[in-house]
Structure 1
Amino acid sequence: MDFDNEIRLSLFSRQEITWWITKINDTNGKRIRPVNVSKRCRTDASFLGFGGIDLETDIHTNGRWNNEEVLNASINYLELLAIFYCLQALYEDCRDIHIEVQSDNTSAISYINKFGGMESIEMDKLAKQIWEWCLLRQIYISAVHVPGRLNTADFYSRNFSDSTEWMLKQDIFNRLCRHTFLPDVDVFASRLNKRLPKFVSWFPEPGAMAVNAFSLSWNQFVPYLFPPFNSIGKVINKVVSDKVDKALMVVPYWFTQSWFPVLLENMSDFPIRLPRHQDLLALPHNKKFHPLGKKLKMIGVVLSGRACRVEEFQKKLLTLSQSHGLEEQPSSTAVLGKSGVCGIVLGFPVHFIRLKR
């Protein structure tokens, strides 16, 4: 062996050495006896997704994998990734505590307790990410084995609701924002179907800025709203009650629904008719199109909970209306695509406008 030969270290090795040089004063040494366990959670992974539950509060988190995560990944890697996502979802705001993670996968447990391992480069890198995340929060984690038959997180890693996962086609969303304005938060989203960097999830999820949009005040946001169809009426009322300045909302054109007149009354701009593409709505994990396909007529509307904005738009309707040559429509709605009218507000027709390129 020639010790005078030049050896080139890999980028990963150089990053590791740099980390120790900068962090050794802060992190050198390990407690002989860790602090007592403050939190306990159970995690599980399947090839469908991940799940986890905090054993003290019974608060759970779960989600499907995206294509990159599950492609060529072993179940051992997914189990370790499930631990990371559950920590992020359940304990993002915790500091200076000891969390006990219970898993039925011995490989994931080993990579946690030994701060990495030698058998899998991918799992070693992931274990490093987990511990770096913990060090920033002064969190100590330990992992223990729980038999699979007792792992209550198993249910959450295999059962999901697709009703809240439909997402608007990215190109159409971009065009809609250019046509109106760019919202600052996606209020009804998950880490897979979010359309903006900031999002509010239904349940604890990694990366979510908050959980349960209905528990928040929306007047601090300029939100993008694409809720489940059975929650549309509740969402419109929330915009009004929170006096939201402006919100961009995507809804089906269902003029027979009880919420539709309320939608019309709180518009602050002309509604936009979205293209009837078959792939307009899809599920993020498998790209499955909405079962209604082209039959589903979707529109984008700008709503406001501020009376002055709504009144300003309604005055514009008065100015643009030429009622002397038209008969006032007896109903408050019109059929989409035949007259180009979305509905009637204060006796004046509200026309659709086309989505700009």
Structure 2
Amino acid sequence: MRQLSTRALTDLEWWCGLATSRDVGRALWQHPVCGELTTDACGYGWGGLLGRLVPARGFFSRVDQAARINVQEMRAMLYTLQSFPHLRGPGVIRFRLDSMVSVHVLNSMRSRSPALMDVVRDLHAELHRRHLRAEGYWLSTVANAHADRLSRDRDSSDWGLRRSVFLVLHSRWGPLTIDRFATVLNTHLPRFNCAVANPDAEAVDAYKQHWGGPEHNYTNPPLSQAESAMSKVAADGTSAVLVLPVWPAQRWWWRITRLAQAAVILPDRAPLFTHGEYAGPGLSPRWQTAAFYVAPPTTPSTVSAGENMLIWESWPPSARPAPAPRPRG
């Protein structure tokens, strides 16, 4: 007697439920259109648009980068849909695609490729949870220029701190609650903000969120936003750990050294950062990097010897117990 796999049992359950499925009879019963998504993919990234206007984009993981382009195209559809959690039914999501293969697979929800069917099942499950069904429409590559450009955006600012280094900071000055500048691939915390819509992001554009209250923020902003991130921490009167370049010539350097209670120069003996395009260790930036601990004015600091006195600690700083957050994925 042969035992069925979990995937086979799931497929069998789906077939048994066709009699009452919302996917049956769709030619007779027209549902309202809940949204329109335009998507595209390249070898290392994906991009999408909601209503031909609101962008979503990201890099593929190493596994996705090794997949065939048809699988990447289906992944781009799934990730774009996951980037807009407010899209819910009952109704229809229209996908605009420049791949005839993707249009056929989406409309039929079947393929001879096992790798492609894995993504189709994930997409079908996401649609089912939201009481949606999908319809695919073809458009020319020229007409899909915006989504194509998003998928090829290399985003030179997408640097993430190596997890082992982050965990040291989390143990010393944590527990940290939210990652303010991250993507679904490089976030160190379950809750994160992103610059452009990403799957599972709590919000887009960290500067539009309030950082105060019970939050203990982890901020590793792009180099060009170092001053803006520090100003946001000061304006919201919150606690935070900021990862910033060592740049004494900048006017914000004087301010952060008076705002923070403790700081440490991060090690540069090994790759310190990862870059999204490579989905792993890449070329580290050439500048020296420091981490600063900032406590709100009303909270007594546990690491400061006196008010407004910055303490430079050695690496690794003396750790105090803090539960390590589980990495995503």
TM > 0.5 between the two?
yes
Q: Can you list the C-alpha shifts for 1:201-228, whole angstroms capped at 9, x where unaligned?
A: 1000112111100011111422100001
1:15 is aligned to 10
- Higher alpha-carbon deviation: 61-70 or 36-45: 36-45
2:184 is aligned to 191
Aligned mate of 2:265, from 273, 297, 309? 273
Give the alignment's TM-score, normalised by structure 1.
0.80
- The 8 Å contact of residues 278 and 289 in structure 1, kept in 2 or not, is answered as no
Matches within 5 A, 1:1-357: 6-19=1-14, 27=22, 29-31=24-26, 32-56=28-52, 58-71=53-66, 73-89=67-83, 91-96=84-89, 97-117=91-111, 119-152=112-145, 153-163=147-157, 165-220=158-213, 221-244=215-238, 246-267=239-260, 269-286=261-278, 287-292=281-286, 296-304=287-295, 306-309=296-299, 316-317=305-306, 350-356=311-317
Tell me the matched-pair count.
312
Give the alignment's TM-score, normalised by structure 2.
0.86
Q: Can you list the C-alpha shifts for 1:152-188, whole angstroms capped at 9, x where unaligned?
A: 311111123112x111121111112112212111110
2: CA distance between counterparts of 1:349 and 1:76?
54
Offset of residue 102 of structure 1: 0.7
Offset of residue 30 of structure 1: 3.4
Structure 1 stretches of 5 or more lacking a match?
1-5, 319-344
- The 8 Å contact of residues 273 and 355 in structure 1, kept in 2 or not, is answered as no
Determine helix, strand or coil for the equivalent of 1:317. coil
Please say which structure displays the higher CA radius of gyration.
1
1:323 is aligned to none
**Identical-residue share of aligned pairs (%):** 21
- Higher alpha-carbon deviation: 185-194 or 26-35: 26-35
1: CA distance between counterparts of 2:302 and 2:245?
25
- What amino acid is aligned across from residue 317 of structure 1 in structure 2? G
Q: Can you list the C-alpha shifts for 1:55-91, whole angstroms capped at 9, x where unaligned?
A: 35x11111221211111x11111111111111111x3
1: CA distance between counterparts of 2:268 and 2:4?
54
- The 8 Å contact of residues 34 and 88 in structure 2, kept in 1 or not, is answered as no
Offset of residue 109 of structure 1: 1.2
2: CA distance between counterparts of 1:120 and 1:77?
9
**Against the structure 1 CA distance between its residues 46 and 183, is the aligned structure 2 distance closer, same or farther, given a 3 Å change threshold?**
same
Offset of residue 354 of structure 1: 3.2
- Calculate the aligned-residue CA RMSD, in Å: 2.4
- What amino acid is aligned across from residue 55 of structure 1 in structure 2? G
Greater RCO (CA < 8 Å, at least 6 residues apart): 2
